[in-house]
Amino acid sequence: MISLILHRVTRVIIHILLIFSIFLLLKGHNEPGGGFIAGLMASVSIVLVYLTYDIETVKRFMPISYPAMIALGLFFATGMGLGGVVLGYPFLTQTFDYFQIPLVGEIELATALIFDIGVFLTVVGATLLIISSIGEGS
């Protein structure tokens, strides 16, 4: 069954949802949010595309291999942890600093953000892998 309302609405809110997920990702270091919840948000919005259209649309929408996405995510997360080991601190040691960025002003950047991005990619990749493996079977 094709619902015109759902089609139109999905086209609009998919952008809002994805932007909101990135907002959650960046906010997550000191306030509620973070890589996992942002990843879920992003994958839920892609699930919405799947529900409205079909698995082919999702594939055109995100033409990447999901396992590679998981690998990249794990690479970021572990790489951040290993950075500490290379510099002589324990595994997963974090640090942060304040930077002046034009137009935005002073912001805090933490190495935990790299970890969060890794988690984000892993969660999105894993969810999409599960969905596509169910979706293709039917």
Partner 1 sequence: MINNLAVYPILIPLVAAIIQLFFAKNTFVQRVLSVVSSALILIAVVFLYIDVRTNGIQVYWMSDWVAPFGITIVADLLACFMLFLSALASLAMSAYAMVDIDANREKYFHFPLFQLLLMGINGAFLTGDIFNLFVMYEVMLMASYVLLAHGSEARQLRGSLHYVMINLFASTFFLFGIGLIYGITGTLNMADIAVAVQNADPDTQGLLTAVSMMLFVVFGVKTALVPLFFWMPDAYPQPPVATAAMFAAIMTKVGVYSITRTFTLMFPGDEFTLTVIKIVAVASMLIGVLGAIAQTNFRRLLAFHSVSQVGFMVLGVGFFSPMGLAGSIYFVMHHSMIKSSLFLCSGIAERLTGNRDIKKMGGIIEKHPFYSALFLIAAFSLAGLPPFSGFFGKLILLFAGAELNEYIFLAAILVGGFLTLFSMVKIWQMAYWGKREPEFNKVKVGSFIWGIIILVGMSMVLAIFVQPVYDMVLEAAEQLLDPSQYINAVLRK
Partner 2 sequence: MIGLLAIIIGFLVGTGTYLILKKTAFKVALGLVLYGQAANLLIITMGGVKLGEPPIILREAGISYSDPLVQALILTAIVIGFGVTSYLLVLVYRAYQAHDSDSVDLFEEVDDK
Return the exposure string of 44-68: e unless at least 16 CB atoms fall within 10 Å of the residue's CB, then b: ebbbbbbebbeeeebeeebeeebee
Range in contact with partner 1 (rule: CB under 8 A) among 1-9, 10-18, 22-30, 78-86 = 78-86
Q: Residue 95 in contact with residue 11, Cβ under 8 Å?
A: no
- 130 part of the interface to partner 2, by CB under 8 A: yes
Give the bridge partners for 110, in sequence order.
96
Q: Tokens representing 122?
A: 């892993």
49 vs 117, beta carbon nearer partner 1:
117
- 127 part of the interface to partner 2, by CB under 8 A: yes
- 93 part of the interface to partner 1, by CB under 8 A: yes
- 108 part of the interface to partner 1, by CB under 8 A: no
Kindly state the number of chain residues that form the binding site for partner 1, as judged by CB under 8 A: 19
- 107 part of the interface to partner 2, by CB under 8 A: no
Please state, in angstroms and as integers, the Cα–Cα distance from residue 52 to each residue in 1, 8, 42, 49, 56, following that order: 9, 10, 16, 5, 11
Interface positions with partner 1 (CB under 8 A): 65, 67-68, 70-71, 74-75, 78, 81-82, 84-85, 88-94
